[in-house]
């Protein structure tokens, strides 16, 4: 019974009861959560204006709710970064605030350290958008570091390759030169083409028979998208149709196609090389697939980490619930 004698001490009883009461108090009367939001009406209106400016149309209720949810999460990340005092130990924040202090002419006879501490006392770090973005970025990096995403496996890369096969296909490549006939000179096109055909001229001999073209006359190994930027989509469609009707695609020979219309006029095209579209090989796009999968995994991991962090705050005004968040973030 010696152990009963040892524990039968009033001071020990006092400590044990204190611990019990402390635990009960924490369970029954938890600390209130820090409130984030709601966003002001002016800030929500500004989000709507940003959407209108970028898209040219009014945002829907769902789009506004999504914007609001993102902004509230950013406010939460900023608050946690400040709680962890990231702003006091980052060189970029330091340089930015010192620069701001010098800009508003408060730097007279003060060191950079003095200016920085004065900026913090003036709460300038809470109003500067560059500083806020930096702190949010640091907090996101912290969350990712604490909950690292799973590296994509070989099977996941192969599955992504199969799923994105059409998207990863290499486009056709055209190497062309052309004679250009502007709108006012299109009536000359028929006679010039007839001369080329009759004399069996190649591009070298016929080059001087056309008009100047601002974008140039020679285009080597161009994709349809690249040609479209110089000639317009109608030209690319016409070029593909003319090639399909000719024998050049199968023979691999050089030859004339057209005339083909564009937004600028007519073009008589000399095709020197054509490479048809082909499916990509896995090894060719493996690094791209890996990068895309890692980006998606990091994005999902960050979303889940933010969802966990959100529980620690009282976030007000957030109407949007991320679809499938419970299942994804288990």
d(CA 101, CA 226): 48
Position 35 scores a pLDDT of 86
98 CB-contact burial (10 Å; exposed 0-12 / middle 13-18 / buried 19+): buried
pLDDT at 4: 47
* Length of the chain (residues): 330
**In angstroms, what CA-CA distances link 97 with 104, 117, 127, 314?**
11, 9, 11, 30
Which H or E element spans position 310? helix 282-310
Give DSSP secondary structure letters for 122-179. Answer: TTGGGT-HHHHHHHHHHHHHHHHHHSPPPPPPHHHHHHHHHHTTTTTPBPPEEEEEEE
- Convert 65-82 to b/e letters by CB count within 10 Å (16 or more is b): bbbbbebbbbbbbbbbbb
**pLDDT for residue 320:** 62
pLDDT at 222: 94
Cα(230)–Cα(226) distance, integer angstroms = 7
Instruction: Provide the residue-wise pLDDT of the chain in tens; the chain has 330 residues.
Output: 454 455 455 655 556 566 665 565 555 555 678 888 899 999 989 988 988 888 889 999 899 999 999 999 999 999 999 999 999 999 999 999 999 999 888 778 889 999 999 999 999 999 999 999 999 999 999 999 988 778 899 999 999 999 999 999 999 999 999 999 887 666 788 888 888 888 888 888 888 888 889 888 999 999 999 999 999 999 999 999 999 888 887 777 889 998 999 988 899 999 999 999 999 999 999 999 999 999 999 999 999 999 999 999 988 888 766 544 555 676
> CA-based diameter of the chain, in Å?
123
The rounded distance, in Å, linking the Cα atoms of 192 and 229 is 27
Domains parsed from the chain with CATH numbers: 41-150+307-328 (no CATH), 173-275 (3.10.50.40)
**pTM for this entry:** 0.69
**Residue with tokens 């008589």, as numbered in its chain:** 268
Q: What DSSP line would sit under 110-124, residue for residue?
A: --HHHHHHHHHHTTG
3-state secondary structure 24-72: HHHHHCCCCCEEECCCCHHHHHHHHHHHHHHHCCCCCHHHHHHHHHHHH
């Amino acid at each position: 019974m010696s152990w009963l004698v040892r524990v039968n001490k009033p001071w020990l009883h006092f400590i044990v009861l204190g611990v019990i009461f402390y635990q009960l108090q924490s369970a029954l009367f938890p600390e209130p959560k820090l409130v984030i939001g709601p966003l002001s009406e002016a800030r929500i209106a500004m989000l709507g204006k940003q959407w209108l400016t970028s898209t040219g149309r009014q945002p829907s209720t769902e789009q506004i709710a999504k914007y609001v949810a993102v902004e509230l999460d950013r406010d939460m990340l900023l608050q946690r970064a400040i709680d962890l005092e990231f702003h006091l130990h980052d060189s970029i924040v330091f340089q930015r605030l010192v620069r701001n202090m010098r800009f508003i002419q408060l730097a007279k006879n003060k060191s950079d350290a003095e200016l920085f501490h004065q900026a913090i006392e003036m709460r300038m770090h809470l109003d500067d958008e560059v500083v806020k973005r930096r702190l949010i970025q640091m907090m996101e990096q912290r969350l990712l570091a604490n909950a690292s995403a799973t590296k994509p496996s070989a099977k996941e890369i192969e599955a992504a390759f199969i799923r994105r096969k059409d998207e990863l296909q290499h486009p056709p490549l055209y190497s062309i030169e052309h004679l250009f006939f502007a709108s006012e000179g299109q009536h000359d096109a028929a006679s010039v083409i007839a001369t080329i055909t009759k004399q069996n001229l190649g591009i070298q001999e016929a080059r001087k028979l056309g008009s100047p073209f601002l974008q140039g006359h020679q285009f080597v190994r161009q994709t349809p998208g690249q040609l479209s930027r110089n000639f317009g989509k109608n030209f690319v469609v016409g070029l593909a149709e003319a090639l399909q009707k000719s024998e050049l695609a199968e023979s691999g020979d050089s030859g004339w196609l057209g005339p083909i219309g564009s937004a600028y006029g007519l073009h008589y095209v000399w095709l020197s090389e054509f490479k048809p579209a082909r499916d990509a090989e896995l090894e060719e796009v493996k690094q791209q697939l890996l990068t895309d999968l890692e980006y998606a995994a990091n994005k999902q991991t960050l979303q889940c980490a933010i969802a966990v962090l959100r529980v620690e705050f009282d976030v007000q005004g957030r109407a949007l619930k991320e679809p499938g968040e419970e299942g994804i973030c288990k």
